[in-house]
Structure 1
Amino acid sequence: MVHITWRYNKSNKNNWESFFDVHAPHYINNGFTKNTISEVDFVIEELRLSEGSNILDVGCGTGRHSIELAKRGFKAIGVDISSGMLLEAKKLATEANVDVEWVHCDAVKYTPTETFDVVICLCEGAFGLVGRDEEPIEHDLAILKNISDALKPKGRFMLTTLNAYSKIRNLTQGDVDSGRFNPVTMVEHYMDEWDLPEGKKQVEVKERSYLPFELKQMFVQGRVEG
């Protein structure tokens, strides 16, 4: 049985929610989704997951990590801002014959109703993926605080996010002059044409990259110390 809990005001969509609602049926066809098994292998090994651990997947998308974890006997709950992505997750969970709870909620506003042994936030599913009108640090710090509230004492947390060093190496002065990238705030904000599985599409991108020391400070502020 698959459950979806609705805790989100659907009348107030940001640009990323709108994008993923439309892109959802095609998401699983992106090349970067093909390494789910090895990624889950890494999560289990790195976090030393014990049998029966309960796991919160923040920014779960179509649920590929949650579903694979559930197939291996873990209890998984996935949270995502996009109802379209969660509907795809529900279909995939049904096909895999696993029981996963899906929560439709912006990770910034998520209030956990239980605590978890492990929280994962992978593949830029929420952290660093900022809405048009949102302040990036406030956005990401709110997510970290909610994750901290969701973790049991000595719980474990795994996060992947954009590397600011990579941005600095690969972007140009032209990107700064055009306003695409701000090297002070480490924010990229631009319109671009993406070559997606469903075809080419104009996408509004707003992302925040991080340096290691910034993440350390954020974890302290967000009380993520597990």
Structure 2
Amino acid sequence: MSGWTFDIKDMSWVESTCSQVDFLVDELKLSGSERVLDLACGFGRHSLELARRGYSVTGVDITAEYIADARRTAGREDLDARFIESDVLDISYRSEFDVVLNLADGAIGYFEDESDNLRLFDVIATALVRGGKHLMGVCNGSHARRHFPCRHWEEGSRSISLADFKWLPETSRMLYSGHVLKFGETLQRLEQDAPGDGIRLYTVEELKSIFAARNMIVRKTYGAYDVAVPASDDNITLLAYSVKGDVQYEMALR
């Protein structure tokens, strides 16, 4: 996606980082000893919060400025977190992590070529140990098909985040542009972001098929960072919790 700057730190949803980490620790039933890989980690908001709680974390992002910022924060707080500047498709971990995260999209669907989008799922599955856990947070393809185009705003304590969503049904891609209006600053004329090629969105059923092909099974899906909110066409957010293991055996038990 184009247009990401450090203004992202002022977006309303960044304020939910601690509660989002609370959710993933509880739902994935983490003990504190797990090795965590955070793909497309941005400036490391989830990675850093997990490291503050005692986890050993590796964050990967292609944006040099974000990685430099995350490294400075980790160094300043003496955290067990390392940050790598890399395209997520170029890493080659094999059975090294107990948990892999793709949050706030985590680059899922960001590639123009669908074969590259699927390669990211290969990276996820390969990096996990057997029994390893994965959590992803993306926009729900089923919601997009039903409700896009639309506009959305969200208020935080420091700003209002505005988003404009469009939909390309022939490619299942979302076109997104967004703005952050900081409280106390003079409002300038909003310039429309160039949406680029858009983001490939997936339905729950598509994700189940993609993960099954990689010996992973989707355990649970949610429509928010809230166990009481199931994934549905009415919720733009889609969280999917998956586990690496023997898919054929688990399916036979159902």
Q: Normalising by structure 1, report the TM-score.
A: 0.77
1-structure distance, mates of 2:19, 2:175:
32
Q: Deviations over 1:167-226 (max 9, x none)?
A: 122225xxxxxxx53223211347x4x323587454233111111111111112344341
1:7 is aligned to: none
1:155 matches 2:139: no
Amino acid of the residue matched to residue 60 of structure 2? V
Q: 1:207 aligns with which of 179, 191, 199?
A: 199
Q: Deviations over 1:7-60 (max 9, x none)?
A: xxxxxxxxx3x633xx0x322111110011111111111111123111000111
Q: Secondary structure at the residue paired with 1:142?
A: helix
Query: What does 1:1-226 correspond to in 2, within 5 Å?
Result: 16=1, 19-20=3-4, 23=5, 25-112=6-93, 115-130=96-111, 134-135=112-113, 137-172=114-149, 181-189=167-175, 192=177, 194-196=178-180, 200-205=190-195, 206-225=198-217, 226=244
1-structure distance, mates of 2:46, 2:88:
17
2-structure distance, mates of 1:201, 1:220:
42
Structure 1: segments with no counterpart, 5+ residues: 1-15, 173-179
Q: Cα RMSD (Å) of the superposition?
A: 2.2
Q: Which has the higher strand share?
A: 2
Is 1:61–1:85's contact at 8 Å kept on the other side of the alignment?
yes
Higher relative contact order (CA 8 A, sep 6+): 1
Q: CA deviation at 1:77?
A: 0.2
2-structure distance, mates of 1:153, 1:96:
32
2-structure distance, mates of 1:60, 1:170:
28
Amino acid of the residue matched to residue 107 of structure 2? A
Q: Secondary structure at the residue paired with 1:56?
A: strand
